[in-house]
Amino acid sequence: MEDAYIVQGGNVLKGEVVLSGAKNLALKTVIASLLFESKVTLTNVPKINDVHELLHLIKKLGATVEQTGNRVTIDPSTLRSSKPDLLHASKLRASFLLFAPLLHKFKECRIPNPGGCRIGMRPIDRIISGMEALGVKTEYQSEDGYYDAKLTQSPKGSYKFSKPTHTGTELLIMLGALGENEIKIENSALEPEIDELILFLNESGAKITKDGTTIAIQGVKSLQQTKPFRIFSDRNEAVTFATLAVATKGSVEIHNLNPDQLLTFNELMIKAGVKVEIKSDSILYEYVGTLKPICITTEPHPGFMTDWQPNWAVLMTQSSGVSTVHETVFENRFSYVDELLKLGARIEYVENSVNDKEAIYHFNTDDSKVLKQKIQITGGAPLHSAAIKIADLRAGATLLIAALIATGESVVTNASILERGYENIVDKISGLGGKLKRV
């Protein structure tokens, strides 16, 4: 296999899509399942590379995993190792979440410094200080890149994040769920995956409440599942298909999607002149005329998600004017720009006049570094075919959209990076009339 897509562009895409389960929830519930006493069943688990890697990783730790289609059953009672291997763990940002179940199971563990997409430095400094505030002892071993961690007492106390972190909030929730003490987390992140993780744990006996950005947890002795847990649909996938269809001047009806998770996105699609019709269990996105240029600034949920900005950028190449994209969550999320230039797009980096960087940016700012956090897109330039390369997951979806807009036949390489987070993407796009094949 060449690890690439051959794409015939220039077609108007129309039709319906049924979303897969959400990557950024499935990964967390699989890991949280290791906190349980006995078997846990998850349904609607997306068959994507990241989930595949994670299931492989926990199997190597001794967990028993049965998978039938999108149904996964995990038996954590056979866990025997407290040290995930670097090869698989380094492929997955979420692997550091294993701190919580392995500390509860073995009282100590070794976790490698996490890997993941090349979209920023992605340190875990706030997360380590959060664990230490709740009583975990940690030590970083630079010689092998592992963190040693010890849990000498049941987690307790409170911690306030300096800046919210999605997976950081989820880790402290998992850490606090078991034990006999009270825990309080402040300035936590608000992503819907976090609410769903809390629901998953509370359905199995946990005592977690959330009020805005404050989470209170009363540790419990054990967790027991009473019924299978369904992974909700992937709103990032929804954004990809909505921008794909509209960018080709078509339409798509997206099924089993929670519109509350896309309020900001839908608002801006309507502002851009897209018809957005919310139905009982689906949303219709339709191109109904020239797209207006709409500027966006990314923010943590409920703002405009950083995962959506690469898709938005390629949509704006089809607008009737000049727009900007300002990225505030990750410091290196424009890997797609040079590739879109190869297809004839008109994009340039522009000054982002930010006085208080520390207040605006959600990553740790360093005044010695020159930040390139803003691009300007001049719409209307026709896209033509080219050979382009995927560098990270959401950039991958963006380049596939661009190749489907462009006239002629394009080659998009590093397909497996995109398949880290998208299930059956070739079938779904072909179902809308897209012409592409995986080679």
For ligand EPZ, the closer CB: 174 or 291: 174
Residue 165 binds to ligand EPZ (criterion: CB under 6 A): yes
Judged by CB under 6 A, the residue of 20, 24, 70, 317 near ligand EPZ is: 24
Tell me which residue of 208, 207, 162 sits closest to 189, measured CA to CA.
162
Judged by CB under 6 A, the residue of 83, 88, 91, 93 near ligand EPZ is: 93
For ligand EPZ, the closer CB: 285 or 422: 422
From 161-169, 227-235, 258-266, 340-348, span contacting ligand EPZ (CB under 6 A):
161-169
For ligand EPZ, the closer CB: 188 or 385: 188
SS (H, E, C) the chain: CCCEEEEECCCCCEEEEECCECHHHHHHHHHHHHHCCCCEEEECCCCCHHHHHHHHHHHHCCCEEEEECCEEEEEHHHCCCCCCCHHHHCCCHHHHHHHHHHHHHHCEEEEECCCCCCCCCCCCHHHHHHHHHCCEEEEEECCCCEEEEEECCCCCEEEECCCCCHHHHHHHHHHHHECCCEEEEECCCCCHHHHHHHHHHHCCCCEEEEECCEEEEECECCCCCCCCEECCECHHHHHHHHHHHHHCCCEEEEECCCHHHHHHHHHHHHHCCCEEEECCCEEEEECCCCECCCCEEECCCCCECHHHHHHHHHHHCCECCEEEEECCCCCCCCCCHHHHHHCCCEEEECCCCCCCHHHHCCCCCCCCCCCCCEEEEECCCCCECCEEECCCHHHHHHHHHHHHHCECEEEEECHHHHCCCCCCHHHHHHCCCCEEEEC
Judged by CB under 6 A, the residue of 30, 40, 42, 124 near ligand EPZ is: 124
Binding-residue pattern over the window 415 to 434 for ligand EPZ, x denoting contact by CB under 6 A: ------x-------------
For ligand EPZ, the closer CB: 117 or 274: 117
Residue 307 binds to ligand EPZ (criterion: CB under 6 A): yes
For ligand EPZ, the closer CB: 124 or 406: 124
From the candidates 45, 117, 128, 388, give the one annotated as an active-site residue.
Answer: 117
Question: Edge to edge, what strands does the sheet with 136-141 contain?
Answer: 108-112, 146-151, 136-141
- The half-sphere exposure of 118 on its side-chain side, counting CA atoms within 13 A, is 9
Minimum gap (Å) between residue 230 Cβ and ligand EPZ: 18
109 noted as active-site residue = no
Judged by CB under 6 A, the residue of 125, 195, 267, 277 near ligand EPZ is: 125
Footprint on residues 346-385 left by ligand EPZ (CB under 6 A): 362-364
Footprint on residues 212-251 left by ligand EPZ (CB under 6 A): 236
Residue 167 binds to ligand EPZ (criterion: CB under 6 A): yes
From 20-28, 145-153, 171-179, 269-277, span contacting ligand EPZ (CB under 6 A):
20-28
Distance CA 364, CA 123 (A): 9
Q: Report how many residues bind ligand EPZ under the rule CB under 6 A.
A: 31
For ligand EPZ, the closer CB: 104 or 166: 166
Judged by CB under 6 A, the residue of 46, 155, 168, 176 near ligand EPZ is: 168
Distance CA 171, CA 28 (A): 9
Judged by CB under 6 A, the residue of 123, 145, 157, 382 near ligand EPZ is: 123
Contact between 298 and 328 (Cβ < 8 Å): yes
Minimum gap (Å) between residue 80 Cβ and ligand EPZ: 26
Binding-residue pattern over the window 390 to 419 for ligand EPZ, x denoting contact by CB under 6 A: ---xx-------------------------
Judged by CB under 6 A, the residue of 94, 102, 174, 315 near ligand EPZ is: 94
Judged by CB under 6 A, the residue of 61, 72, 117, 405 near ligand EPZ is: 117
Residue positions annotated with a catalytic role: 117
Contact residues toward ligand EPZ (CB under 6 A) are: 23-24, 27, 93-94, 117, 120, 122-127, 165-168, 189, 191, 236, 300, 306-307, 329-330, 362-364, 393-394, 421
